[in-house]
Structure 1
Amino acid sequence: MSLTRWGAALVGCATLLLTACTVVDLDANGKPIIPADPNAKASFDNQTPQQIAQQTWQTRVIDAANKQALDANALSAKMKSSSSTTQSVFVRLTSKIESVDVSNEREHKLVINVNGQPLKVQLGPVINGNAIRDATGFKFEDFTNQVQFAQLSRAYAREAVKHLPNVDPGWAGKTATMTLAVTLNGGKAEDAALLEIKPEAQ
């Protein structure tokens, strides 16, 4: 083969190689920027619990609650069927607000009636328990940094309070639709946390 043909062949090969390659952008240090794998498991290694709560609030809490929330009848059935276990669930109820207690600066609560039983619902600013975090389906093993998992409950509680209106004693006697996260423990509803509330038209 002549040198001319060799040269043409080499140029052809180089062209094929270049067209087969994907151009990768470089960062400020000249290192390639690898696009995130959309199928990769989310990593929270370098995030604070508050950042995780903020980034996942809509998808893991509000959107999930809209899809999975139990009504009053389903909640009662779940309480009976899980009387020997502990689990947290999302609940949506329309109920008359029996009372609102804001006498404790740190722990405001309202009381509603669910199938003949009173249920205390936490309004913040302090919300106790792990109901919100555990209802999302997050598990201990989802986090490499276990401190994040332990502190995520408090971060979600702060996020919930940020999105709530001011519920004061003036709400007592009103009927409202509420979305809650509730822990079912031994057949009882505990640590109910308010996520959303909307008063019904009178």
Structure 2
Amino acid sequence: MSLKQWGAVLTGCAALLLTACTVVDLDADGKPIIPADPNAKASFDNQTPQQIAQQTWQSRVLNTATRHALGSSELATQLKTLSSTPHSVFVRLTGKVEKVDSSNEREQKLVMIVNGQPLEIQSGPVIRGNAIRDAAGFRFEEFTNQVQFAQLSRAFNREAVTHLPKVDGSWNGKTASVVFAATLTNGKADDAAALELKQEAP
């Protein structure tokens, strides 16, 4: 085959290769911009816990609580199982506030009687525990490491406080509606954390 014929073949191959290629846009640094894979698993790798909490508060926390919150009788049923494996749930209650515990100003709690037993519900400004994160269904596998997963609990607890009214002694004896997350273990509801809280008209 002559050089001229080889040139024609090579030119044809190059044309086929170009036709098969997809043009990719470049970013400001001249690097190719790869489109996101629509089937890729959602990842929080490049977000701070605070960003995750803010962005998922409605979709993963409040919406889940609206769909799956237990009432007082359902909560009582779950507590009777006496499971030693902690699991967190959302609960929606309306009842009388027996008292507001302000002995620690940074960790105030409302005490309500639920199924004949007093239940402390944290109202901030500091809320402790993993109840909100775990009740919303977040799992360790979604995160880069254990530290980020642990920090998300604190971020959700801080986010909850921004949506709650100021609670003081004037709430004593009043009827209130509350949506909260709690961790159930061995027949007890621990680390109850308010998500929504309001006084009802007398």
The 1:97/1:38 distance shift into structure 2, 3 A limit, reads farther
Amino acid at match of 1:145: N
Contact residue 45 and residue 145 of structure 1 kept, 8 A = no
Deviating above 2 A after TM superposition, structure 1's stretches of 4 or more consecutive aligned residues are: 20-27, 29-40, 81-85
Amino acid at match of 1:139: R
How many residues align structurally? 189
Task: State the Cα distance separating 1:70 from its structure 2 match.
Answer: 0.5
CA distance in 2, matches of 1:149, 1:80: 30
Task: State the Cα distance separating 1:98 from its structure 2 match.
Answer: 0.9
The 1:26/1:131 distance shift into structure 2, 3 A limit, reads same
Quote the residue 1:3 is aligned against: none
Quote the residue 1:28 is aligned against: 28
Q: How does the TM-score come out when normalised to structure 2?
A: 0.84
Contact residue 83 and residue 188 of structure 1 kept, 8 A = no
Aligned-partner SS, 1:109: strand
Task: State the Cα distance separating 1:86 from its structure 2 match.
Answer: 1.2
| Alignment gaps of 5+ in structure 2 | 1-11
Question: Which stretch of the first structure deviates more once superposed, 49-58 or 114-123?
Answer: 49-58
Map 1:1-202 to 2 at 5 A.
17=19, 24-202=24-202
The 1:95/1:31 distance shift into structure 2, 3 A limit, reads same
Alpha-carbon RMSD: 2.2
Contact residue 107 and residue 124 of structure 1 kept, 8 A = yes
Task: State the Cα distance separating 1:21 from its structure 2 match.
Answer: 7.7
List per-residue Cα deviations over 1:25-84 (Å, max 9, x = no partner).
432223333333343222111222212211211111111111111111111111112533
CA distance in 1, matches of 2:79, 2:85: 9
Q: How does the TM-score come out when normalised to structure 1?
A: 0.84
Amino acid at match of 2:37: D
Task: State the Cα distance separating 1:148 from its structure 2 match.
Answer: 0.3
Amino acid at match of 1:70: L
List per-residue Cα deviations over 1:126-159 (Å, max 9, x = no partner).
1111111111111222212221011111111111
Contact residue 111 and residue 118 of structure 2 kept, 8 A = yes
CA distance in 2, matches of 1:22, 1:94: 60
Aligned-partner SS, 1:65: helix
CA distance in 2, matches of 1:172, 1:23: 67
Question: Which stretch of the first structure deviates more once superposed, 146-155 or 111-120?
Answer: 146-155
List per-residue Cα deviations over 1:170-193 (Å, max 9, x = no partner).
111111111000000111111100
Q: Structure 1 vs Structure 2: percent identity of aligned residues?
A: 70
